[in-house]
Structure 1
Amino acid sequence: MSNSELALMDIATLAPRIESGEVSPVAVMESQLARINALNPGLNAYISLYPDAALAAAKEAEAEIAAGKYRGPLHGIPMAVKDLFQVAGMERTCGSKILSEGIANSDATSVARLRDAGAIMLGMLNLHEFAFGPTGINPHVGTARNPWNLERVSGGSSSGSGCATAASLAMATLGSDTGGSIRIPASLCGVVGLKQTYGLASRAGIYPLCESLDHGGPLTRTVRDAALVLAAIAGSDPADPSTAHARVGDYTSLLGKPLNGLRIGVPRDFYFDRLHAEVEAAVQAALSVLSDLGAEVEEVILPFNREAIDGWSTMAMAEAHTVHDGHLRDHADDLSPDVNTRLRLGEGLSATNYIHSRQAQTKVQQEMAGVLALTPILAMPTAVIPSVPIDTGTVMVGDREVVGWRALGQLTRLACFTGQPAISIPCGFTEDGLPIGLQLLGPWFEEPLLLQVADAFEQATEWHKRRPELSV
């Protein structure tokens, strides 16, 4: 393999070659930077890039490995993070012209843990302003374009993370997920997006949107790579009280294990209503694959869907308004119009409304635990539609015109409301070549099981091997 192709490799394949000295982290970084320089101007995945610092870190990694100080599978691996994370030596903007923090002096906990594992930070990735939208359309820094069709959105809010991962502009990325913002771009860009259990990985140093629902997690090109990144960032952190009871597992321990007898529930009510026809067909085919792999796929009823969606909406709008109250008061005209509108939805909510949403959350979590006791994995589409055009933001579903910002997050909010882990994996493409994602939900802190199912599907299919045709 030529140096120019190193950036196309997945982490699990590349890591042993770096460890053995067959491949140099410097060569990997040079390959990665060359690809970014060639493709990012047309994709707009990065808001800011720090090539000199990245190359210097690659040289340090090369020296460490040569000296026998190999840190593990992320050592020397180029990564990038959503421009919501604090990264020492880089400037965070949150995709807004309001924020002016200057160069950070310290890392978010997850970034620090990745660096401790040897990963190298490339730069800051595009997003929907302040991570508050499912399309990724951003009038301030430009919109990250979908590598499969440059006229389509990458999905939000972690748009740059989805775009960069799919286009091989980083070997793995971090995004955030409050209502689907890791899984939506993963689905629309044809990559893996993992939202781990609430409280498994620290959010310290991530600009908040709704702290009761916020998660930070990986987007990767394979399930195994997601497991490797999760292993690095998982664990308790005094700076984030939600992680006090984090249960860290061995996230590769069940990869490759058969699914024989595993019960997988399919909640058809709501989650399969009014789907884009090609999304429905792809997900139905994916369910057949899981059945062929030995899983017992059966329909389940989730009677709490409406309660969960309403509760999520109240909680998200109330907390987001609290976070951005000063921005609405002092810089309203500088906000993206859609973000301004969405933030104001929290203005009229009362303390009673908010308390009811928290009570609903506890109730739904208890009811979900009962469902998972019988069917430990739930399977459904990640999004009701594929990507939408940047200019119109809509797509036709039958004879209906569906608005992207309303539709894209419908099926992903539940897992944020319950806090259980969820993953989106590629399961097909439309006739127009747009990716489709399958979403899997599992029990709290049972990421090894969730990853086992996702990996089994990945190994039985070829969808994850397809790459967008981009001219370098």
Structure 2
Amino acid sequence: MGDNLPFASIEALSGKLERGDISSAHLTNLYLERIDRLNPALNAYVEVYHEAALMQARASDQRRAHGYQIGPLDGIPLAVKDLCAIDGRGIAAGSKSWHGRRSESTATAIARLIAAGAVILGKTQMVEFAFGGWGTNPLLGTPRNPWSVSSHCIPGGSSSGSGVAVAAGLAAGAIGSDTGGSVRIPATLNGITGLKTTAGLISLAGCCDLSKSLDSLGPMTRSVWDAALLTQIMAGYDKLDPRTHHAPRVMFDLDDDEDPDDVLTGAVIGLIPPSSYPIEVSPEIAGALDEMVSVLMEHGATVIEQEFPFDFHEMMLLNGKIISAEAYALHRSYIHDESLEIGPWVRRRIMSGRDISAAEYIDAMAAHNNAKRAWAAWMRGMDALLVPGTPIVACPLEQVDESETPLAAFTRAGNFLGTSVLAVPAGFDGASMPIGMQLYGKPFEEPLLVRIGRAYQRVSDWHRRVPAMV
């Protein structure tokens, strides 16, 4: 039983805890032992809370023993990206220059998980200041993609450690952030599920900003059901974050009785011609997309190819311009200080915001707002748009070109369009590296994406695969 538990879904683990098949203390110990054994090579965690995690687990077991289970997350061990504050814990946002900083409060989203009974295992590694898609961190170390046996392959970023932790069985789920693909890229490259939530759905109070206009928090999990549970717990109004004040309340149907054919019959999934792609995708990724289309159609979905009135590449550039301008405004007081140990490429990306004029920034924000309206109108006849997660699979670390951003080619548009996006595992290449797809939805229609994604995962098993090296 112990061999399979680290890779079980939150849904399955919750059932085992409720039935008394396992205890939270046993489960937490299992993850902590794996972290102690595997993290030196994988570098997924920057802090591990051994004693506190076990105390939380034992408290969960005591509640359950006395009939006071809080809910399905009670006793489930999770990991948190190191840009979310936890009172009394370190918060370095992936930066060596921030080493030693301590939080004096807990981020609203994380506080809600803890209140729901989650066991917090520790903080995960990330790209410095959350600004990068490859997942590299030259000063604190780049986490290793657990699917690569022969070489150190990239994990994707910026939620690199969160992706590796879930994929390697070092946590039942993890929290990431997404400003241009930082949940979806590592989810895709590590063969797990990631949900980029609509900005404003989940409070960012207590989290380190990269771009106030584009940032969002999202879950990284083994299944779509798991992602929905974590999102529902974290979402909602927060007086500390004005971005949540006008967001609708989103509710998920977490019952598991639906037939995938019933869910997908009548669902309309859009496709765009490859000529609209911002970058050529590998033949194996194109083949995985075709296979996913066949599965969706076989179970009742209507798939239609649409002319795409948006330009992925232009949206990627404009999204990058907004990120750079807002990141420079946040970090400008120290980013020029060469005595601070800051990664050269992250420093360069942030400093590029200095050269963006006020007029350029205003124009980019106007385009962002116009695109959000145009997207909502264009999507009226569809439930989701299916596109690749990334154009390539995870490559060896030595092949990374930090001056290029191919991994964000299909992801930054989700932030620029201000919408919800679900990333799901959809296959493997010839070297057994994961391939993932994205379902773009409408703003605040995460429940619809979840229904489609859950239906797909009921009739596919890509999300159940486990890397050989762990």
The bucket for the TM-score relative to the shorter chain is over 0.9
Residues in 1 aligned to 2:436 and 2:400: alpha-carbon distance in whole angstroms: 19
Identify which range, 69-78 or 182-191, moves more after superposition: 69-78
Residue number among 272, 287, 312 corresponding to 1:267 in the alignment: 272
- TM-score, normalised to structure 1, is 0.94
Per the alignment, residue 126 of structure 1 pairs with 125
Counterpart contact for 2:419–2:443, Cα < 8 Å? yes
SS of corresponding position for 2:385: strand
Per the alignment, residue 383 of structure 2 pairs with 376
1:302 correspondence with 2:312: no
Change over 3 Å in CA distance of 1:254–1:294 after alignment to 2 = farther
Q: How far apart are 1:234 and its partner, in Å?
A: 0.7
Counterpart contact for 2:223–2:463, Cα < 8 Å? yes
1:279 correspondence with 2:285: yes
Q: How does 1:60-209 map to 2 (within 5 A)?
A: 60-100=59-99, 102-149=101-148, 150-209=151-210
Counterpart contact for 1:25–1:77, Cα < 8 Å? yes
Per the alignment, residue 10 of structure 1 pairs with 9
Residues in 2 aligned to 1:463 and 1:291: alpha-carbon distance in whole angstroms: 18
Structure 2 unaligned spans of 5+: none
SS of corresponding position for 1:326: coil
Per the alignment, residue 18 of structure 2 pairs with 19
Residues in 1 aligned to 2:27 and 2:354: alpha-carbon distance in whole angstroms: 49
Change over 3 Å in CA distance of 1:171–1:204 after alignment to 2 = same
Residues in 2 aligned to 1:86 and 1:119: alpha-carbon distance in whole angstroms: 15
Q: How far apart are 1:105 and its partner, in Å?
A: 2.9
Q: Deviations over 1:178-225 (max 9, x none)?
A: 000000000000000101111100011110000100001100001111
Q: Which amino acid aligns with 2:386?
A: A
Q: How far apart are 1:239 and its partner, in Å?
A: 0.9
Counterpart contact for 2:81–2:126, Cα < 8 Å? yes
Q: Which amino acid aligns with 1:316?
A: I
Q: How far apart are 1:88 and its partner, in Å?
A: 1.9
Q: Deviations over 1:139-163 (max 9, x none)?
A: 1211100000151011000000100
Counterpart contact for 1:272–1:380, Cα < 8 Å? no
Q: How far apart are 1:244 and its partner, in Å?
A: 0.6
1:386 correspondence with 2:390: no
Q: Which amino acid aligns with 1:368?
A: W
Per the alignment, residue 467 of structure 2 pairs with 468
Change over 3 Å in CA distance of 1:228–1:451 after alignment to 2 = same
- TM-score, normalised to structure 2, is 0.95
Counterpart contact for 1:314–1:357, Cα < 8 Å? yes
1:329 correspondence with 2:336: yes
Q: Deviations over 1:390-412 (max 9, x none)?
A: 12216xxxxxxxx7952001110
Per the alignment, residue 242 of structure 2 pairs with 241
Residues in 1 aligned to 2:403 and 2:70: alpha-carbon distance in whole angstroms: 42
Instruction: Give every structure 1 segment of 4 or more consecutive aligned residues whose post-TM-superposition deviation is greater than 4 Å.
Output: none
Per the alignment, residue 345 of structure 1 pairs with 352
Change over 3 Å in CA distance of 1:404–1:452 after alignment to 2 = farther
Superposed CA RMSD in Å reads 1.7
How many residues align? The count is 462
Identity %: 39
1:258 correspondence with 2:259: no
Per the alignment, residue 219 of structure 1 pairs with 220
SS of corresponding position for 2:392: coil
Q: How far apart are 1:170 and its partner, in Å?
A: 0.4
Q: Deviations over 1:207-263 (max 9, x none)?
A: 000010000110000111111111110101111101112222322358635211211
Per the alignment, residue 452 of structure 1 pairs with 451
Residues in 2 aligned to 1:298 and 1:71: alpha-carbon distance in whole angstroms: 43
Q: How far apart are 1:331 and its partner, in Å?
A: 4.5
Q: Deviations over 1:290-316 (max 9, x none)?
A: 121211111122322254333212211
Residues in 2 aligned to 1:320 and 1:384: alpha-carbon distance in whole angstroms: 26
Residues in 2 aligned to 1:57 and 1:462: alpha-carbon distance in whole angstroms: 32
Counterpart contact for 2:8–2:222, Cα < 8 Å? no
